[in-house]
Chain A
Amino acid sequence: MAEDKIGSETVASAAKGKMTLFRDDRQEDIGAIVFSALLVAIIVLLTMK
């Protein structure tokens, strides 16, 4: 299915495979939000007086 193959930022890789470890773009977006929340939490803890 064409839809299964799209969703990649790779140059011309849409026809070859995805450029993500996630199931799809949406999962990767959520992963990025979780990852940034984790990083921000660590930074807040590190800089807490």
Chain B
Amino acid sequence: MSVAEDIGFFGKLPKALPGLALLVGTMVVIRFWIEPWMGNAVILDQKGWLIKVTHLNYILLGIIMGLLYRNVLFGGKLPDVFADGFKLSRLFIKTGIILLGSLYTVQAIIKLGSMAIFLIGGFVVLSIVMVLWLGKLLGMDRSMTGVMANACSICGVSAAVATAPAVEAKATHVAYAIATILGFGILTMFISPFIGHALGLNDLQYGAWVGTGILNSGQVLAACLAFNPNVAPGTAVSVGEIWNIMRVISIPFAVFAVTVWYWAGKEQPEGTKKSLSTLLLEKFPVFVLGFLGMVLLTSIGAFGDAGIKGGPPASATIKMIRDWMQWIFGIGLVGMGGYIDFKELAQAGGKPLKVGLLVGATKYVLALIVVMIIRDHLVEI
């Protein structure tokens, strides 16, 4: 590793400032000028027509701006001067998810109940089985199949990355899986708010649907905020993320299951077997622990009243945490938009694309049907 690569996070930070300034500046312009303008603009004799019809808000506008930066303004590649700043976007999204813990209490999560756990678990197992079966049917590479199985069943990218070393996947397998699931996810991210509004889903039903049916954590977040930009207990983002976090927590179990499947069907020389416990320890997404810590602190009242439905209003600290969280998510999602490359999406063709789309679409539609069937039994948290 060269010295230039080994300067650490703080060594690289100064170079990231121009890109970070672009991300923050974009969100400032969107929230202070574009969004208010859209809310006040009179089109077809109707005030706020743009927001009512398109349901565009700061989250979707942020992602669209990121997309436009990369694919239109910068011609398909982030320029070096901004590239390092955009690399901070995932840090912002993870930080936002940790702060999101301020929306929940342990009591509320327990209340979520066995139905949610059963549903989330059922969809994870169903997706894994379906990918393994389709992979075999289409004669897909076993490593590729293993990566796709967890990518489609849990939270997309993290699961694909966590599974890759366990099933001897090449970087190209991971890239292909990521491109496929994120490509599908981008579509669902944009159409879900429209479907949700068209079907008259409330925040609880919508959150449960996208938290189960959309493959990627960032896209669950974006789809929820696009449906309802408010961040408070009981809103779409609050419901969607707790369902999604429960899915993320199942990563070690899903990696274990797919690893067992992979090695059970493969002949291997002695001494090359990877230790599963080491893999799980290395790949578990530790920021989930930060989220759980935040839930715990909120539950014991460390920040004052949490503002849970039916209880006293949220304290000033909790309100400020949630306000800052919206900015952090907004900034992170502009960066996420900047990493969606139209050309790379086009590369995700072939068998993995077929499998990813088939499983992704099945899960997306089935989750909606199940949520519609059990919608009166969903527990509000």
Contact = CB atoms under 8 A, between A and B. Distances in A.
Given A12-B178, A12-B341, A33 B287 contact: yes
Given A6-B161, A47-B317, A47-B320, A11 B344 contact: yes
A12 B316 CA distance: 42
A49 B110 CA distance: 33
Contacts of B131: none
A38 B154 CA distance: 30
Interface string B82-103: 0010111111001101110000
A8 to B, nearest CB: 8
A39 to B, nearest CB: 6
Given A32-B91, A32-B287, A39-B99, 4 more contacts: A14-B178, A29-B290, A35-B95, A40-B303
Contact of A30 (B84, B161, B286, B328): B286
Interface string B1-26: 00000001100110010000000000
Contacts of B282: 26
Contact of A20 (B90, B97, B303): B90
Contacts of B13: 21
A40 to B, nearest CB: 7
A43 B99 CA distance: 12
Given A20-B87, A21-B88, A27-B9, A43 B317 contact: yes
Nearest 3 Cβ contacts at the A-B interface:
A32-B94, A12-B344, A29-B286
A26 B287 CA distance: 8
B91 A9 contact: no
A21 B16 contact: yes
